Structure 1
């Protein structure tokens, strides 16, 4: 799915040699006086009698034009003026290029130069460090210094940082779990007097009506817009309608171990979803260039130009400023209206949606760190709601104003010393992956406020995207076979889907079996076998 974060573990396993001591990382850090100070977080105390220490913290360098010094700016000064003075410490930020974060972190860990607080979004990388003995075990120090942190994350998030039953990572908390939505041209439905489709059958019939009656009166009408992207091949949420609702936990865990929108050749019902897409293609209902539109730009253009009747994308895709499909559509086709719908009903009458797991990045502390306690105190301080509010928004009355208990930005954090290089400043507020106001209703309102002109639409889209939602089975053991062959299997899956979708309907069944046999022999079987092995090991079977 375009723009969607990867949920499967896809990283090459690397052997690392760790140095016996962490080399000192030092740099100058200015600390002026900032407003918005926060008191000592519950359960932690600062001991001024202890010698001054330097805590090193990783920060992503996103290479954004005009970004300030990542170790000397408004946010780093606030951190040092508050946490630093309170705990008699200086916090130095070590920048790592976002696009090369895994490679750079591997080098830093291998040389003993990794910051006291490091992080990655890839579970397999963390597991490698655990296996090599490179990470500090955090159970006891978390219990002693992290009461606020523990309460904020809770067991449902913290478990994602446990390996072999021990806490080796502090996962960030993802505040928006929605994955994707199906969108449809409501003005087309209204023009034809059609209801909103709520089942796969109704959706298909609606697409036929769009093709035959062409309510947009456009040349080259595309009822269902679709793009097959090799880096993330799949059928979006269509397979949810054909997957049996009666799967046991073990079947759910071992036959559907990855994101639903990726190819799950062994998942019961996936063949039916492929047949459904094949039927639509042969009826002329989907994008004719779906297999060559490898980056989705052709689909974006077709949507913007008013040719597409329905499509699937990120839950908030149309409302984003980039690529700005809804804004472009409204400009090109006055009166055009997009709404999220929920047509992928299963045999139990539900509309299941595989959403993100509740964990964000994996925060780790190298075993070579001399500041394990201080690192947990830093994260515990950051879990204080007042600190989170400041790091995500800045100073009230200057950088934002509270409107109905929701912070409304004034624009001061878009440039200069206060520039946030990523939404919600999550490069500095590493505990919260998304807006965090301590209340889901407020979070939703704040998220919606970030899409000017589409506030109500976004609020509704988020609601639709979470109906009957669930997360994939949690594995504490990464799948080494998947890490080894993930890229090759994704490329093969894209080729398989393209062949199956354009095949003659009478040939789909036999071709499906032949291609899946090929897929299994080229690494798919090893991946499934390891999921089964890991499931049994994790459950003591």
Structure 2
């Protein structure tokens, strides 16, 4: 009886002690983040572990990050990859995107206003990026990567880091290019058949084809017929500019690199394209055309040819199939110019750059998040999805399962901040997701002779302060001038005067700096 009463008196005390031990055990097993949320003991100081990429619940109190990225046709926030990355990394992210046209201007405005983006991904405009870095607008990433980014370090080769560094500091995480040739002239082959012509192989044959499109009206458009359409931010026309020996922004002339405006062939190129315009063979509205406007003219059956990236093929093909079910089209191979030259610009270096602005509210968390996205299984799931659901493996190649691959991974590359060493293999599935697109890609990258794929040697060049400071302004200056020449608003009689202005604005100094590197590389 006494023992029973004693046990009854001890029970409340035991309950209190048990509760206290549970609390102490929870604290010692990982500590608290300061707001009552427990975190694993082997974290990095913020409740994150090396396996965080596969544990969405590692830290329920991670801040919402804000990311700005390149334009895409769907809302970043509702596309399936956004939810996948939040699940895998535990970080909620609010996505904004740049406009399709004149995105550099919008980016300048946003960064100039101090918009607090935690990560910004742009096309690999190294001159624009280095300008931001020199102006003190970006965070030096190397200390953060060394502390929080082992996966990022593994993804960057020494050559990549040297090519991206500005004044010996790393301000961006690059995505290496995975293919060489981007674009060419896409032409309606059913129109060619109607006018009795083969696919052009020379500039002379291209002119003849466009003249036939105008005069014989194979599309049935009457006076609304457009032989070749482009948009107003397209002064250097892929393939055509290569036929004048200027496939890249800078090309070798007598052993040194020269920008197109100083190239002896520049005047010949402008003369040819402006002649197309005067004859009505180039879209009379091209100056006002947006990228989407030009594509609509082609996909609606109004235009017989357009200059586009091979990745644009699926959307164009889908719309054209609805408007003109019997339509057929193909890319034109490298055209030979009057001096026997031909060439496509061959990519080297980087496709995208991701940086963290100084205005970021969470630079350390942004690096941790990027590092988590590069955890191999997370990155693979981001890039191509899950085996058996989004892709299958056939003869060692990743093959997409449709339509779910396109529905849920078509835009996956826009969510990447750096790529792992296996991405070139994963990427096979991306390019195979549409047979028409793969055919176009393969034609430009696998079927064109290697000698006409002219490598852009500046793609992996180191930071050059004068070139980087001046290049964006100079490129805009030359682009605007070239458009005016083609449209007849300026005359080539003033070319030497413009070249003098170009050199005075930093062109001469840039040429000297670039060629000092080129001679000693």
The two structures have a TM-score, normalised by structure 1, of 0.66
Specify every segment of 5 or more residues in structure 2 that has no aligned partner in the other structure, as ranges. 1-32, 49-61, 100-105
- Kindly state the Cα deviation for residue 480 of structure 1 after the two structures are TM-superposed: 2.6
User: 2:306 pairs with 303, 308, 311, which one?
Assistant: 311
User: 2:252 pairs with 247, 253, 257, which one?
Assistant: 247
* Contact 1:316 1:461 (8 Å CA) reproduced: no
- Residue by residue over 1:149-208, the C-alpha shift from the partner in whole angstroms, topping out at 9 and shown as x without a partner, is 455443553333122344443212333443211122222434455333222233233334
Q: Provide the rounded CA distance (Å) in 1 between the counterparts of 2:441 and 2:81.
A: 35
Kindly indicate whether structure 1 or structure 2 has the higher relative contact order, using CA contacts under 8 Å at least 6 residues apart.
1
* Contact 2:398 2:428 (8 Å CA) reproduced: no
Find the counterpart in structure 2 of residue 423 from structure 1. Answer: 411
Q: Provide the rounded CA distance (Å) in 2 between the counterparts of 1:65 and 1:382.
A: 20
* Contact 1:352 1:469 (8 Å CA) reproduced: yes
- Kindly state the Cα deviation for residue 125 of structure 1 after the two structures are TM-superposed: 4.1
- Residue by residue over 1:447-484, the C-alpha shift from the partner in whole angstroms, topping out at 9 and shown as x without a partner, is 231x3665544543554688514225235135333445
Aligned runs of 1:89-108 on 2, under 5 Å? 91=91, 93=93, 98=98, 102-105=108-111
Q: Say which SS state the counterpart of residue 509 (structure 2) adopts.
A: helix
Aligned runs of 1:188-337 on 2, under 5 Å? 188-211=191-214, 213-216=216-219, 219-220=222-223, 224-227=227-230, 229=232, 231-243=233-245, 247-248=252-253, 251-252=256-257, 255-256=258-259, 264-287=260-283, 289-295=284-290, 299-317=294-312, 319-321=313-315, 324=316, 326-337=317-328
Taking a change above 3 Å as real, the CA distance of residues 388 and 298 of structure 1, as seen in their structure-2 partners, is closer
* Contact 2:138 2:355 (8 Å CA) reproduced: no
Question: Which stretch of structure 1 is more off in the superposition, 242-251 or 386-395?
Answer: 242-251
* Contact 1:149 1:379 (8 Å CA) reproduced: yes
Taking a change above 3 Å as real, the CA distance of residues 210 and 351 of structure 1, as seen in their structure-2 partners, is same
- Residue by residue over 1:24-83, the C-alpha shift from the partner in whole angstroms, topping out at 9 and shown as x without a partner, is xx999x99xxxxxxxxxxxxxx98165335787552378956935999944212113xxx
- Kindly state the Cα deviation for residue 336 of structure 1 after the two structures are TM-superposed: 2.4
- Kindly state the Cα deviation for residue 269 of structure 1 after the two structures are TM-superposed: 0.6
Find the counterpart in structure 2 of residue 138 from structure 1. Answer: 142
* Contact 1:476 1:538 (8 Å CA) reproduced: no
Q: Provide the rounded CA distance (Å) in 2 between the counterparts of 1:202 and 1:413.
A: 40
Find the counterpart in structure 1 of residue 45 from structure 2. Answer: 51
Find the counterpart in structure 1 of residue 4 from structure 2. Answer: none
Q: Say which SS state the counterpart of residue 247 (structure 1) adopts.
A: strand
- Kindly state the Cα deviation for residue 499 of structure 1 after the two structures are TM-superposed: 0.7
Find the counterpart in structure 1 of residue 482 from structure 2. Answer: 493
- Kindly state the Cα deviation for residue 237 of structure 1 after the two structures are TM-superposed: 2.9
* Contact 1:227 1:293 (8 Å CA) reproduced: no
The answer to whether the aligner puts 1:390 opposite 2:381 as a matched pair is: yes
Q: Provide the rounded CA distance (Å) in 2 between the counterparts of 1:298 and 1:412.
A: 29
User: 1:76 pairs with 73, 86, 92, which one?
Assistant: 86
* Contact 1:354 1:472 (8 Å CA) reproduced: no
* Contact 1:118 1:365 (8 Å CA) reproduced: yes
Find the counterpart in structure 1 of residue 342 from structure 2. Answer: 351
Find the counterpart in structure 1 of residue 29 from structure 2. Answer: none
Taking a change above 3 Å as real, the CA distance of residues 464 and 444 of structure 1, as seen in their structure-2 partners, is farther
Find the counterpart in structure 2 of residue 512 from structure 1. Answer: 492
Q: Say which SS state the counterpart of residue 417 (structure 2) adopts.
A: coil
How many residue pairs match? The answer is: 451
Taking a change above 3 Å as real, the CA distance of residues 486 and 192 of structure 1, as seen in their structure-2 partners, is closer
* Contact 1:302 1:308 (8 Å CA) reproduced: yes
- Residue by residue over 1:301-337, the C-alpha shift from the partner in whole angstroms, topping out at 9 and shown as x without a partner, is 54345454433222343x232xx3x344444444321
* Contact 1:149 1:380 (8 Å CA) reproduced: yes
* Contact 1:126 1:362 (8 Å CA) reproduced: no
Q: Provide the rounded CA distance (Å) in 2 between the counterparts of 1:333 and 1:141.
A: 52
- Kindly state the Cα deviation for residue 270 of structure 1 after the two structures are TM-superposed: 1.5
- Residue by residue over 1:481-540, the C-alpha shift from the partner in whole angstroms, topping out at 9 and shown as x without a partner, is 34456555543432222117xx9xxxxxxx3131x2453455564131231243256469
- Find the structure with the greater CA-based Rg: 2
User: 2:157 pairs with 147, 154, 157, which one?
Assistant: 154
* Contact 1:171 1:362 (8 Å CA) reproduced: yes
The answer to whether the aligner puts 1:175 opposite 2:178 as a matched pair is: yes
Q: Say which SS state the counterpart of residue 225 (structure 1) adopts.
A: coil
Q: CA RMSD in A?
A: 4.8
- Residue by residue over 1:387-429, the C-alpha shift from the partner in whole angstroms, topping out at 9 and shown as x without a partner, is 221123444445x2425343536667999xxx77x801532x3
Q: Provide the rounded CA distance (Å) in 2 between the counterparts of 1:279 and 1:71.
A: 47
Q: Provide the rounded CA distance (Å) in 2 between the counterparts of 1:120 and 1:306.
A: 32
User: 2:432 pairs with 438, 448, 467, which one?
Assistant: 448
Q: Provide the rounded CA distance (Å) in 2 between the counterparts of 1:284 and 1:216.
A: 16
User: 1:129 pairs with 128, 133, 136, which one?
Assistant: 133
- Residue by residue over 1:87-126, the C-alpha shift from the partner in whole angstroms, topping out at 9 and shown as x without a partner, is xxxx4646556455554445559xxx764x6655554344
Taking a change above 3 Å as real, the CA distance of residues 192 and 445 of structure 1, as seen in their structure-2 partners, is farther
Find the counterpart in structure 2 of residue 41 from structure 1. Answer: none
Taking a change above 3 Å as real, the CA distance of residues 140 and 105 of structure 1, as seen in their structure-2 partners, is closer
